[in-house]
Structure 1
Amino acid sequence: MAAAGPSTVLVTGGGGSGRSTLAAATARLAAESGLRTLLLAADDPHRTLDRLLGAELRPEPAELCPGLFAARLDQQAAFRDAAERLLGRAKPLFDLLGVEPLDRDEISALPGAAHLALLDALRTRSAWDAVVVDAPPVAELLAALALPKQLDRYLARLLPDEQRQAARALRPMLAAFAGVPMPADWLFEARAWAAAELAAIRTVVDAPGTTVRLVVDAAAGPQAAAALRSARAGLALHGARVESVTVNRLLPDGEDPFLASLHQAQQRQLAALEREWDVPVHPVAHLGREPQGWADLAALAAPDALRLAPASGQPVAGPAGWPVEDLLGTEERVLVWRIPLPGAERGELDLVRRGDEMLLAVGPYRRTLLLPSALRRCTVAGAALRDGELGVRFAPDPRLWPR
């Protein structure tokens, strides 16, 4: 696996599902298999990993056992580092306005700094064979993974590349009119720098070795299964690759009628997930106590349910890979954009066309999609969800479609 490139596993799930514990057990197993592994605490406000591992995790990776390193994200430091880079680029503007830039100690993290810290940490993963991330719940994780695409879209709208030449041509006239030099060059250079930074992060997020491992508590019942189904649709919408589903804290069978009934209910839930998902569904047994220490981590990883899967080598299936079916030669006379949304339900879908873009929402998850070029000359004629696939029908606009 190390020869194929770094492997990054984002371990996520609902609160109390045991994702922090399973992330630690996964990292331990990866290190034992010979991979130089980093365990990254990205969402552990109660320092569960500190108590579990018997060590105080800090921003700098520390080796806990041969091959296994661990670190905790520092949101404040990551935000300040990013702000310093950005403020350095904006120095010409501050000089123009006569404003003193902020010192590092004056910068405090804003809402969303956790997303920034996680993305910045993922970008520096090249020093490791495997990175196991104790990630936030699915909704927050997707908000972080979607951030580079959203910011890049905003930059493209606010400062289109084609306007740079026009700005250069108009700069002398604008400078004479306003009485101050117009900072066109550095503004577009800063935009190019920001685009390059976002592209570097997107390369890691979309890499074949970056996968999501979903954790669900076996005792959570039908509500957890419904949330997992919604999460599956959200992950598919954003092109995140799900590596596996881990069903945690499965009870053993026993003579006690109460425990036997719970065991049977959990086994039915496990069987339903195995039928529904097209990725491995791994059971992890309940230890009968709260996991604590290296011996318990070894016990959790004993069935190899937590072993890292090799990278597929395939790029993430995003909008560019979603097929457009040509039915213009049939009675329907439409183009159909087929969007895979396994787990989605019809009542959760919302679809809005805005110019060359389409806003698609699945429950709490939303994404703005740039339409393929052929569909930009069409009008939306309807949509249908069948077997986990959304088919959006487009009819050619007579004003834009060549005869």
Structure 2
Amino acid sequence: MRTLLITGPGGGGRTTVAAATALAAARGGARTLLLGTDRTDTLGPVLGGAAPPGLTVRRVDPDAGFRADLAALQNRAASALDLLGAARLEPEETGTLPGAEELAVLRALRDAALSEAYDVLVVDLPPAPRALSLLALPEELRGHLRRLLPPERQAARALRPVLGRLAGVPLPAGWLYETAARLDLQLAAVEAVLADRDTVVRLVAEPGPAGADAVRAAALGTALRGLRTDALIATRVLPESDAGGWLAGPVAQQRKTLEEWRESHDVHPVAHLGHDPRGADDLAALAVPGAGTGRGPVVWPVTDRLAEDGVLVWHLPLPGARRDELDLVRRGDGIVVTAGPFRRTVPLPSALRRCTVDGAALREGELRIRFRPDPALWPRTR
């Protein structure tokens, strides 16, 4: 399945472009699912009524997902609750807890992407900063789970009663490990969807100073996460025929931003219709590109320069990164990369785990980290 994740700065026309993209895919003959992540129905007014043939519109319901998860958790922990004499919570008695909405979106993304009922999935994500945090959540949560409940500890399950008596404290129950393993499996499935070669991020922004800053940050965060972008949709572009009079300034500003964007993005300008697009005809008039085809996986290659300089060089594409906003910290078999407001612990390729960091440089939008083999770990040559 082809999956397009639509995001951009708030107010830039993100939802409109998501609807137009899904409509173009459906009219091209693809079975298309348009997934909305807003609590309110923002896609309905944009589409202007019933979805056309070939297009299914669905909205994430975090409240329903939370109630189902709460019921399942209480069923799995029934014996512990009975032992403590605790009364069970009725799902209707509680509001949605923080984080439940994000997990509901990830679950919906996973289920939709793995469905065989559709050829194209278009997801109207939240504004870029929140969307990037959402897309980082599976990897971050899996890392925390592995640290809190290492899978290897389950090997001691048969000894748990004995160990509990020796230690004098109860050890985590089996259901806790089973729950963690189930959550880890679900998060791994979302990670697989995001890493799939047919999953891309489509950025949406209005050309101008604010849009330029937002696109730079979004492109940087997307690249650090190893996600692919297929296009930058420039919305509400004024025609050059309006370059005279009081619109001369805005037209010139948009032209300058578009020229800068074209240096590093596949830009698709969308004309300003003079009103907010509503209905299938307006969406078709935007001429937003369809789903397209996959571009292949993101590659962070390692260059062998042992013979020349005695180092290996790891190349990480970080478009829009600035030297004064970069920081690197080696931590075990990973390296913590901070780029602007974004941070990620990136696992090292196997060869680099036997090396020490020898320096780094930012050149042409690419972070190049040098690694020198550790004599105590690197195989000796004769």
What TM-score comes out, normalization by structure 1 length?
0.84
Match of 1:281 in 2: 267
TM alignment of 1:25-64, pairs within 5 A: 25-43=20-38, 45=40, 47-55=41-49, 64=51
How far apart, in 1, do the equivalents of 2:301 and 2:289 lie? 34
**How many angstroms does 1:194 deviate by?**
2.2
Q: Which runs of 5+ in 1 are unaligned?
A: 1-5, 56-62
Tell whether 2:140 aligns with 1:160.
no
Superposed CA offset, 1:61-115 (max 9, x none): xx62212222222121223333444444444544555544433223432222232
1:257 aligns with 2:245: yes
Deviations 1:121-170 (A, max 9, x none): 111211322222221122211211121111211222222233322x2364
Return the alpha-carbon distance in structure 1 between the equivalents of residues 353 and 241 of structure 2: 61
- Quote the offset at 1:228 in angstroms: 0.9
> Equivalent residue for 2:126?
136
Contact 2:10 2:128 in 1 (8 A): no
SS in 2 for 1:64: coil
Distance apart, 1:50 and its partner CA = 3.1
Whole-angstrom distance in 1 between the partners of 2:346 and 2:195: 16
The one of 202, 224, 229 equivalent to 1:242 is: 229
Q: Displacement, 1:308?
A: 1.6
CA displacement at 1:38 relative to structure 2: 2.0
**Pair 95,273 (structure 1): closer, same or farther in 2 beyond 3 Å:** same
In 2 relative to 1, CA 400–178 (structure 1 residues): closer, same or farther, beyond 3 Å? closer
Deviation at 1:258, TM superposition (A): 2.6
Alignment of 1:163-312 (within 5 A): 163-165=153-155, 167-168=156-157, 170-177=159-166, 185-218=174-207, 221-254=208-241, 256-277=244-265, 280-301=266-287, 305-312=288-295
1:297-339 CA distance string (max 9 Å, x none): 22213xxx33221233x34x2xxx5223333333x32232221
Pairwise CA RMSD of aligned residues? 2.6
CA shift, 1:349, in A, is 1.1
The change in CA–CA distance for 1:107 and 1:388 in structure 2 (over 3 A counts) is same
SS at match of 1:15: coil
Unaligned runs of 5+ in 2: none
Matched with 1:119 is 106
Moved more, 258-267 or 224-233: 258-267
Give 2:231's aligned amino acid. Answer: S
Shift of 1:34: 1.6
| Cα distance, 1:180 vs structure 2 | 8.7
Alpha-carbon distance in structure 1 between the residues aligned to 2:230 and 2:53: 26
* 1:181-207 residue CA offsets vs partner (Å, 9 max, x unmatched): 856544433333222222222222222
Work out whether residues 35 and 57 of structure 2, in 8 Å CA contact, stay in contact via their aligned partners in 1: yes
Partners of 2:42 and 2:328 in 1: CA distance: 40
Residue 351 to residue 270, structure 1, CA distance change in 2 (3 Å)? same
In structure 2, C-alpha distance between the alignment counterparts of 1:101 and 1:11, rounded to whole Å? 40
Separation in structure 1 between the aligned mates of residue 371 and residue 169 of structure 2, nearest angstrom = 49
From 123, 133, 137, the equivalent of 1:147 is 137
Q: Which moved more, 1:337-346 or 1:101-110?
A: 101-110
1:168 and 1:24 map into 2 onto residues whose CA distance is 50
Using the alignment, how far apart are the partners of 1:399 and 1:294 within structure 2?
65
Q: CA contact under 8 A between 1:23 and 1:132: conserved in structure 2?
A: yes
Q: Is the 8 A contact 2:8 2:218 kept in 1?
A: no
Rounded to whole Å, the distance in 1 between the matches of 2:36 and 2:310 is 52
The count of residues paired between Structure 1 and Structure 2 equals: 376
User: Structure 1 stretch 251-260 or stretch 68-77: which is displaced more?
Assistant: 251-260
Query: Quick check: 1:40–1:71 contact (8 Å CA) kept in 2?
Result: yes
Return the letter of the residue paired with 1:266: Q
Once residues 82 and 355 of structure 2 are traced to their aligned partners in structure 1, the CA distance between those partners, rounded to angstroms, is 48
- Sort the Cα spacing of 1:95 and 1:288 in 2 relative to 1 into closer, same or farther, 3 A: same
**The residue matched to 2:278 in structure 1 has which SS?**
coil
* Paired AA for residue 68 in structure 1: L
Contact persistence 1:338–1:389 (CA under 8 A)? yes
- Give yes or no for contact 2:358–2:370 (8 Å, CA) kept in 1: yes
In structure 1, C-alpha distance between the alignment counterparts of 2:301 and 2:330, rounded to whole Å: 18
TM-score by length of 2: 0.88
Task: Quote the sequence identity (%).
Answer: 51
CA shift, 1:252, in A, is: 1.2
Paired residue type of 2:103: L
